[in-house]
Structure 1
Amino acid sequence: MEEATREIIAIAPGDPLYPVNLGKISGKLRTLYALGNTALLGETFAAAVVGTTTPSEAAKAACAETTSFLVEKGFVIVSGLAAGCDTIAHQSCLDAGGKTIAVLAHGLDICYPRSNLNLRDAILEKGGLLLSEYPPGTKPRKNFFVARDRIQSGLSRGIVVIETDVTGGTMHTARFAEKQKRLIGCIVSQARGNKELLKENKALPLKTAMEKDTFIISMKILDIKSHEPDKKSQMELF
């Protein structure tokens, strides 16, 4: 049963609604703010789909196809409601009849970018969720976007990198995923960030049907255990 609300609610660590997956990444957790279907916070089968705000045509197609595939396999889709790959991931999830969580870098009473206002509303109308660690009224800041990347990966069993350069938010998310012991899948492309992740064996290639199936199975059987990161990782994560 969906637990939906059109009011922004605060969810403190220890609350039964606190995200199951996120609650296992560190001993130091923060209050979250949620709007929409909070039942999704209890879903452990979630996957983050992330990528550049300026994807190539090939990346756009890969993002839509991969997201639909994940929905078909029973995953909630996590992304950041940014332009480009995030937008495609959320929209493709809704088009496929799935549920999606948008992790925002500002208060939930703000929509950024404004061009995604209709998509934001559609996410709520179709049983999705908006989530943030920032209280209502908080405006977006550059460092907030980096910080929210750790929540995207922390909510998920794995992340899928669609297309990225060697710098930027997608690579931040990949680094957080690695620290949090989440699986990382990567679309095979000529993008510099994709090539680096695959060359350094930090991500599983997602090209063939067998590779995609293996990634899905690996995420489903992944045992996400609570762990205490070292002090350096603690600071980087929170």
Structure 2
Amino acid sequence: MKQQFLSKEDILCMQYAGMRAHQIMHSKFEKEEYAEAFETYIDKAESIMEIQHEYGVVTLTFQDEDFPCSLTKIGDDCPPMIHCLGDLSLLAPTDKRIAVIGARAASPAGNRKAYELGRKFAEEGNIIVSGLALGCDKAAHEGCLYAGGKTIAIVASGLNIVHPKENEPLQQHILENGGLILSEQPFGMKANPTRLVARNRLQAALSDAVVLAECPEQSGSMHTMRFARKYRKQCFVASYPQYSYINAGNELLLSQNLAKPI
């Protein structure tokens, strides 16, 4: 391990104080810089880290040698630390992670496409990355699990909260089958629109390719595709014989040559 200039508790204090990731990671590691935050939040931070450890959560900071290099490569967008439940080996350097994403309120055809893509890519030996949401995310995880593959669910809440609650059995199935649940949010943090968008950037960053199953033009999945292009990932989108509101995002990306058809 590299020398730990900032402890996990230090970083959590700084996050609670509202410091942005790039401020934390470019800090000169002098506690005088954030003494007020440390004094205000240290008890809370120590308590959270202790509870997470008891729960089996492993926390990695940007200073750790086993912190995913695919996250450090995104520069100031990199989270200062991540919290993980499950098989950490799925974060090792590889070119076999594929994100399969799509809308929560997907059509039956969109959910079917996400399931088929998750299963197909898993059968080819890839790790499937998605967001544990209803709709296409759920279908992609389930397709991967059906194929006996490994899947990573990146979530927008602390790992003591399953969001949405309906996917609690799916989260347990992922863990029981050697998968991984990952979040940049500590225990107690609930998902909200801002954290969901932030979650989307981690899906793109952690993966070598991002595949969109189905979404309208206004969708969180379109944020993920924008992040994928920003991080120079391979971008693919499912094509359909006909287009409507429900898959207008697919049509837009294809018509503007922002992703390749699949």
Structure-2-length-normalised TM-score: 0.74
Q: Percent identity?
A: 40
Larger radius of gyration: 2
Structure 1 residue 34 corresponds to structure 2 residue 84: yes
1:114-144 CA-partner distances (Å, limit 9, x unpaired): 1101001011110000101111111111110
| Other-structure match for 1:13 | 62
CA deviation string 1:54-95 (max 9, x = no partner): 111211221111111111221100000000000001111111
Aligned amino acid, residue 192 of structure 1: A
Q: Which residue does the alignment assign to 2:44?
A: none
What displacement does 1:17 show?
2.4
CA distance 1:48–1:55, change in 2 (3 Å): same
Greater relative contact order structure (CA < 8 Å, 6+ sep): 1
- Equivalents in 1 of 2:187, 2:93: separation in Å? 25
Residue pair 2:112, 2:139 contacting (<8 A) in 1 also: no
The number of equivalent residue pairs is 202
The letter of the residue matching 2:62 is P
Structure 2 contact 116–140 (Cα < 8 Å) conserved: no
- More helix as a share of residues: 2
Q: Deviations over 1:9-46 (max 9, x none)?
A: 21001313212322222156321111111110104210
The aligned counterpart of 2:173 is 122
Give the AA of the match of 1:33: H
Give, in whole Å, the separation in 1 of the partners of 2:55 and 2:137: 23
- Structure 2 segments unaligned to the other structure (5+ residues): 1-53
Paired position in structure 2 for 1:71: 122
1:145 aligns with 2:201: no
Question: In the alignment, is the contact (CA less than 8 A) between 1:53 and 1:84 conserved in 2?
Answer: yes
Letter in 2 for 1:41: L
Task: Say whether the 8 Å CA contact 2:153–2:180 is kept in structure 1.
Answer: yes
Q: 1:186 and 2:242 equivalent?
A: no
1:43, 1:76 within 8 Å by CA — same for their partners in 2? Answer: no
Q: CA deviation at 1:6?
A: 6.1
Distance 1:192 1:28 in 2: 28
Structure 1 residue ranges (4+ consecutive) displaced by more than 3 angstroms after TM superposition: none
Alignment of 1:20-59 (within 5 A): 20-26=69-75, 29=78, 30-44=80-94, 45-59=96-110
- Distance across 1 between alignment mates of 2:93 and 2:55: 20
Distance 1:39 1:28 in 2: 23
Partner of 1:197: 253
Two-structure CA RMSD over aligned residues (Å): 1.4
Contact 1:17 1:38 in 2 (8 A): no
Secondary structure (helix, strand or coil) at the match of 2:75 reads coil
Could you list the runs of 5+ residues in structure 1 that have no partner in the other structure? Answer: 207-238
